[in-house]
């Protein structure tokens, strides 16, 4: 399809109601709560994030494509937690992090704050690559300098986690790019369950004992949902709890801003929830998530580390996400990346994702290609939570990229 014109927004009111409705219609066959119009509007309203939304229209004014980008910061404090490689890769890793870490700006096609295929949607026949090239070539948001590193994230990979297939370093999306793999996203299949009791009944004895221990340790905690006024009143404290967790991450792309949760609450209403965890009346943590009625997306958590082990705080938050999905009648819960074994022990299964990367500096791009090919995510044997007869086979979307994806 030729003759498309790109229209872009750096604030939510740059598109009118009809354009936002057309945006959501493009997602009908492949839903994404993080790419939905409410989520994109919320991101555009955050004054500390450099977000841009784009629509492509044909000559008749019909919307044929949509995408979101964000100019963000990536920070690597060390990648021992999730990547392994040969001896040369390990030496290069030590050298690159010799001053404490790396920090660089990137243009992300998609959202840095979520894992999954939330970057773009196009009508059949549209030249997706040409449209995304146009978006990637724009100047920086708000007149800022445009990054010279580009990332398109995240696309599903049609390889099971346990088979050990390595594809990173190849150019499976398009020539001149590098495919990179990090931790998988951990997803819980709820399609065969209607209640928490039914869910846990299908678990192995060891896994069910672990769940019961989590509930026992967290008994002194109380959880309460915040309304918009509560989120606004506590946003700085909630952000501080989030930073306790975020600051320990070995690799970070993007950062939740203090006002983001209030922006999401205004757009989503009851479909976005923030719960605070209290101990003896004091807030010691929070977790928040979104839903489209079909699946639950665990978004972010924050907590004081001193209470995490003694009260199984993080594990209880994961349980709360699963219970929320069951209450809503959802078919799946996306628990995000990291803490793979903890999530697996609660019934989550890994789904592999790939991101596509290109650097403007030829030397750094060649180095990134080599590093991606010389390394791979650590693939430990994850705990099996389900009885043999209750195991849900991993379901991944087929790759839309030739060599990987």
Task: Tell me, yes or no, whether 316 and 257 share the same domain.
Answer: yes
Judgement on whether residues 143 and 228 belong to the same structural domain of the protein: no
The CATH number for 31's domain is 3.40.630
- Domain harbouring 322, CATH code: 3.40.630.30
Residue 163 included in any domain: no
Whether 159 is covered by a domain: the verdict is no
Shared domain for 234 and 137, answered yes or no, is no
128, part of any domain: yes
Q: Of 124, 147, 170, which residue sits at a domain end? A: 147
Flag whether 51 is in a domain.
Answer: yes
| Model pLDDT, residue 401 | 29
Q: Which of 317, 350, 383 is the last residue of a domain?
A: 350
- What angle, 0 to 180 degrees and rounded to 10, lies between the N-to-C axes of helices 260-268 and 228-246? 140
State residue 76's pLDDT score. Answer: 76
Residues 143 and 277 in one domain: no
What are 27's two structure tokens? 């997602």
Domain, as residue range, for 307: 188-350
Are residues 142 and 234 both part of a single domain? no
Same structural domain for residues 115 and 207? no
Q: Are residues 143 and 197 in the same domain?
A: no
pLDDT of residue 402: 28
Q: Do the domain assignments include residue 379?
A: no
The pLDDT of residue 1 = 61
Both 136 and 214 in one domain: the answer is no
Q: Are residues 224 and 344 in the same domain?
A: yes
What pLDDT sits at residue 75?
85
Residue 319 counted as domain residue:
yes
Kindly state whether residue 384 falls inside one of the protein's structural domains: no
User: What is the total count of domains within the chain?
Assistant: 2
SS (H, E, C) the chain: CCCCEEEEECCHHHCCHHHHHHHHHHCCCCCCCCCCHHHHHHHHCCCCCEEEEEEEECCCCCEEEEEEEEEEEEEECCCCCCEEECHHHHHHHHHHCCCCCEEEEEEEECCCCCCCCCCEEECCCCCHHHHHHHHHCCCCHHHCCCCCEEEEEEEECCCCHHHCCCCCCCCCCCCCCEEECCCCEEEEECCCCCCHHHHHHCECHHHHHHHHHHHHHCCCEEEEEECHHHHHHHHHHHHHHHHHHHCCCCEEECCCCCCHHHHHHHHHHHHEEEEEEEECCEEEEEEEEEECCCEEEEEEEEECHHHHHHHCHHHHHHHHHHHHHHHHCCCEEECCCCCHHHHHHCCCEEECEEEEEEECCHHHHHHHHHHHHHEEECCCCCCCCECHHHCCCCCCCCCCCCCCC
Last residue of a domain, one of 333, 350, 367: 350
Q: In this structure, are 210 and 68 located in the same domain? A: no
**pLDDT of amino acid 378:** 65
Claim to verify: residue 195 and residue 322 sit in the same structural domain:
yes
Query: Domain check: are 113 and 253 in the same one?
Result: no
Cβ–Cβ contacts within 10 Å for residue 378, how many? Answer: 12
Assess contact for 75 and 251: CB atoms under 8 A: yes
pLDDT at 85: 62
| Res 403: pLDDT | 29
**97 within a domain of the structure (yes/no):** no
pLDDT in tens, the chain (405 residues): 678 999 999 999 999 999 999 999 999 999 999 999 999 999 999 999 999 999 999 999 999 999 999 999 988 766 555 566 666 556 656 655 556 667 889 999 999 999 999 999 999 999 999 999 999 999 999 889 999 999 999 988 888 877 767 766 777 789 989 988 888 999 999 999 999 999 999 999 999 999 999 999 999 999 999 999 999 999 999 999 999 998 777 778 899 999 999 999 999 999 999 999 999 999 999 999 999 999 999 999 999 888 899 999 999 999 999 999 999 999 999 999 888 999 999 999 999 999 999 999 998 888 778 777 766 666 667 888 998 655 544 433 333 322 222
């Amino acid at each position: 399809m030729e003759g498309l014109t790109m229209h872009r927004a750096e604030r939510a009111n740059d598109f009118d109601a009809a354009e936002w409705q057309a945006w959501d219609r493009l997602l009908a066959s492949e839903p994404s709560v993080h790419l939905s119009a409410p989520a994109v509007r919320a991101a555009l309203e955050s004054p500390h994030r450099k977000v841009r939304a784009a629509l492509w229209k044909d000559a008749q004014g019909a919307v044929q494509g949509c995408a979101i980008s964000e100019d963000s910061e990536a920070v690597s404090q060390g990648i021992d937690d999730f990547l392994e490689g040969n001896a040369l890769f390990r030496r290069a890793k030590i050298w690159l992090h010799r001053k404490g870490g790396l920090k660089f700006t990137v243009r992300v096609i998609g959202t840095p704050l979520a894992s999954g295929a939330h970057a773009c949607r196009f009508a059949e026949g549209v030249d997706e690559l040409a449209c995304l090239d146009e978006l990637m070539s724009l100047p920086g948001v708000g007149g800022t300098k445009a990054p010279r590193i580009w990332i398109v994230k995240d696309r599903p990979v049609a390889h099971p986690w346990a088979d050990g297939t390595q594809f990173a370093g190849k150019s499976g999306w398009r020539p001149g790019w590098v495919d990179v793999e990090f931790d998988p996203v951990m997803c819980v299949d709820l399609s065969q369950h209607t209640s928490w009791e039914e869910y846990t009944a299908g678990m192995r004895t060891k896994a069910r004992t672990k769940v019961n221990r989590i509930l026992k340790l967290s008994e002194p905690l109380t959880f309460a949902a915040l309304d918009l006024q509560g989120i606004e009143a506590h946003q700085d404290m909630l952000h501080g709890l989030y930073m306790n967790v975020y600051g320990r991450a070995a690799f970070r792309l993007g950062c939740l801003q203090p006002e983001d949760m209030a922006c999401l609450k205004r757009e989503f209403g009851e479909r976005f929830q923030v719960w605070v965890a209290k101990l003896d009346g004091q807030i010691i943590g929070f977790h928040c998530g979104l839903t489209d009625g079909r699946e639950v997306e665990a978004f972010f958590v924050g907590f004081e580390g001193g209470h995490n082990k003694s009260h199984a705080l993080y594990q209880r938050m994961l349980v709360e996400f699963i219970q929320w999905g069951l209450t809503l009648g959802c078919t799946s819960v996306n628990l995000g990346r990291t803490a793979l074994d903890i999530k697996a022990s609660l019934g989550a299964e890994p789904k592999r994702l790939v991101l596509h990367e290109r650097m403007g500096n030829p030397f750094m791009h060649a180095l990134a290609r080599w590093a991606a090919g010389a390394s791979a995510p650590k693939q430990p044997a994850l705990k099996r939570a389900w009885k043999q007869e209750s195991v849900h086979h991993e379901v991944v979307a087929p790759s839309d990229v030739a060599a990987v994806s």
